[in-house]
Amino acid sequence: MELRHLRYFRAVAEELHFGRAAERLHIAQPPLSQQIRQLEREVGAQLLVRTTRSVELTPAGEAYLRRVVRILDDVDAAGLQARRIADGAEGQLAIGCVGSATYSLLPRLVRVLGDVLPDVEVSVRGEMLAPAQLAALTAGQIDLALLRRPVELAGVTAVTVRRDRLLIALPADHRLSTRPELFMEDLRGEPFITHAGHGRSIMSNLVAALCTEAGFVPQIRHEVAETSTLVTLVAAGLGIAVVPAPTAALDIAGVRYVPLSPESLGVDLVAAHKSDNPPGVLARVLEVLREVAADEVGAPDPSTPARAQ
């Protein structure tokens, strides 16, 4: 028995006419009659009563038809779902994201994905440091990582999404907060708040390198895991921080963002995934991600202070 036998039987049972069923199936009537007789022999029961004038279902045929309809509908639905998954229109995807993009790019990305790919179930894990994202990517806990360069891991592909300028987050009443721009040399002797160090954060390594190039060692007062905590500590007057521009989207009172010069100082946001990941959902999400990143207005004007406490 093959699926075509079931499709043939369904057509005859629904049309109750071999000629119309043959026309519907685009086959000749004699082979259709032969296939139905073969099906009845294999089932071991008469399914149709044939006369010169009509075709009727036997009780066994009626019961068989109900099952056949469910089977064929399930087969068709399974094929449609498989094609939709292969095309990236349906499936699941877990996204990890660094702190600054958690508050800027990620919300809009998820909203657009919900509109464009409503049958893709998206889960997110925000405020993840880059090493934690790469570990989760390798372990299969996330499918797409939004993080900072460098990404040097075998079997992982990374593409640049955008480049973010660097800002200095200062308490609103800080002596440097009214400056239109700052240089790293201006921050000598200031207490720094950074993301977790010792290789656990790209931004921590970057701050250390920038300070070294400026000729001093940063005085790290606090190390934190989350960008929101970092900015909150700045607002509390416990230090200053070097942050990517999208961090300014965090509307925390008492913080002012001043651009770090030269403007060429910045960090790339990249999208990373396993190189052997099958196409489909991932490819569609990456396409949407590129469009969202290109259309994103960006962080608020860093020269505008947050609302006063």
The predicted model gives 238-256 an average pLDDT of 92
Q: What is the pLDDT of residue 149?
A: 83
Mean pLDDT highest for which of 18-27, 74-83, 278-287? Answer: 18-27
Separation of alpha carbons 23 and 39, rounded Å: 20
pTM: 0.68
User: Residue 296: pLDDT band by 50, 70, 90 thresholds?
Assistant: low
pLDDT > 90? residue 151 = no
Half-sphere exposure of 290 (CA within 13 A, CB side): 8
Residue 11 confidence (pLDDT) above 90: yes
Over residues 173-203, the pLDDT tens digits come to 999 999 999 999 999 999 999 988 665 678 8
- 61, pLDDT greater than 70: yes
Measure Cα distances from 88 to 113, 117, 118, 141, 198 in Å: 12, 8, 11, 19, 39
Neighbours of 145 (CB within 10 A): 27
pLDDT at 192: 96
Q: Is the pLDDT of residue 295 over 80?
A: no
- Quick one: angle between helices 105-116 and 281-295, nearest 10? 130
Q: How many CB atoms lie within 10 A of CB 298?
A: 14
Architecture of the domain spanning 91-295: 3-Layer(aba) Sandwich (3.40)
Taking the C-alpha atoms of residue 105 and residue 100, their distance in angstroms, rounded to an integer, is 8
Percent of the chain with pLDDT over 70: 94
Q: What pLDDT shows up at residue 176?
A: 96
DSSP state letter for 305: P
Inform me whether the pLDDT recorded for 156 exceeds 80. yes
Mean pLDDT of the chain: 89
Cα(94)–Cα(55) distance, integer angstroms: 54
Of 105, 146, 92, which is closest to residue 291 (Cα–Cα)? 105
pLDDT at 304 over 60: no
pLDDT of residue 17: 93
In the block, residue with structure tokens 């139905």: 36
Confidence of residue 308 (pLDDT cuts 50, 70, 90): very low
Q: Are strands 156-171 and 266-274 parallel, antiparallel or unpaired?
A: antiparallel
217-244 pLDDT tens trace: 999 999 998 899 999 999 999 999 999 9
Residues 6 or more apart whose CB falls under 8 angstroms from that of 52 comprise: none
**pLDDT tens, position by position, 85-108:** 777 778 889 999 988 888 888 889
Rounded mean pLDDT of 10-15?
94
Q: What is the pLDDT of residue 298?
A: 43
Rounded to 10 degrees, what is the CA torsion of 71, 74, 79, 82? -140
How do the domains of the chain map onto residue ranges?
A: 3-87, 91-295
* CATH entry 3.30.70.2190 includes domain 3-87: no
